[in-house]
Amino acid sequence: MSNIVEVILLGILEGITEFLPISSTGHLLIAEHWLGKRSELFNIFIQSGAVLAVLLIYGQHVKSMLRDWRKPENFDYLSKVSLSFGITVVLGLIVSKLGVKLPEELAPIAWAVLLGAIAIFIVERYAKSHPGNGLVTWRLAVFVGLAQVVAGVFPGTSRSAACILVAMLAGANRPMATEFSFLVGIPTMFAASAYALLKVRGEISAIDSQMLFDLGLGFLVSLAVAFVVVKWLLQYIQTHTFTVFAWYRIGLAACLFYYLLS
């Protein structure tokens, strides 16, 4: 398989999976078992493309809140986003200092994918009798911050799935849980990318024309695909549950376990 095709495939994979509740990190680790391992710098760039897509989608909303941050409702919302982000940063740094690393074996990813599916079924069942509302509480902000740390430690969990599910359990309806999860994800994932860049700054000085092409192509493909996928998801959840993603995760877990056993 040519290098360009591999870069495009990985960009598409990142764009599809970053904000759907099916785990981008888990899918990329799985892909690396077949396509070969890519540099950390490449993974950072394609993830940044997906995050930028969400920023473009919510750009006017974010700009409006920041411009009118003195309004009580905007100040309250931004404060809760900041709390979630702060919890993630502090605990994330502690986890990093303790030397906790993402498992790269398929077995823990398969289990995380399966358990995530079960969690979606449980939360969606709960949501039937507790439909939630459009409010973001302080408890919800704390839960989302903690969920991001857990998802960062266990690939296959899915950051978006963990955040959305705990937000729904904390009382938010599906659209609000999704919106808050995505908006918290913007500073969180850009900060994580910046932190990761510091750790691989040696790779930056060694970039050649081929690597620069790969980074740019992967970034653009991920951005374009993520933009379309997130736009679709925001419409989909207005009238549908996340159950379809749980069934997808079960199918993916079954394939992974079959591969591991055979």
CA distance 10 to 20: 16
Q: How many CB atoms lie within 10 A of CB 65?
A: 18
The pair phi, psi for residue 105, each rounded to 5°, is -80, 155
In percent, how much of the chain has pLDDT > 90? 64
Residue 172, strand partner residues? 133
Residue (of 195, 116, 193, 210) closest to 155 by Cα position: 116
How far apart, in whole angstroms, are the C-alpha atoms of residue 172 and residue 123?
12
Cα–Cα distance between 105 and 103 in angstroms, integer?
A: 6
| Cβ contact 84:142 at 8 Å | yes
Q: Which two tokens stand for residue 245?
A: 């993603």
d(CA 163, CA 85): 12
pLDDT digits (tens, 9 = 90+) for 169-223: 999 999 999 999 999 999 999 998 888 888 777 666 667 778 889 899 999 999 9
Segment 232-257 mean pLDDT: 94
Q: For residue range 74-129, what is the model confidence (pLDDT) as tens digits?
A: 999 999 999 999 999 999 989 888 877 767 678 888 899 999 999 999 999 999 98
Q: What is the pTM of this model?
A: 0.91
Given pLDDT bands bounded at 50, 70 and 90, which one contains residue 142?
A: very high
Parse the chain into domains and list their residue ranges: 3-261
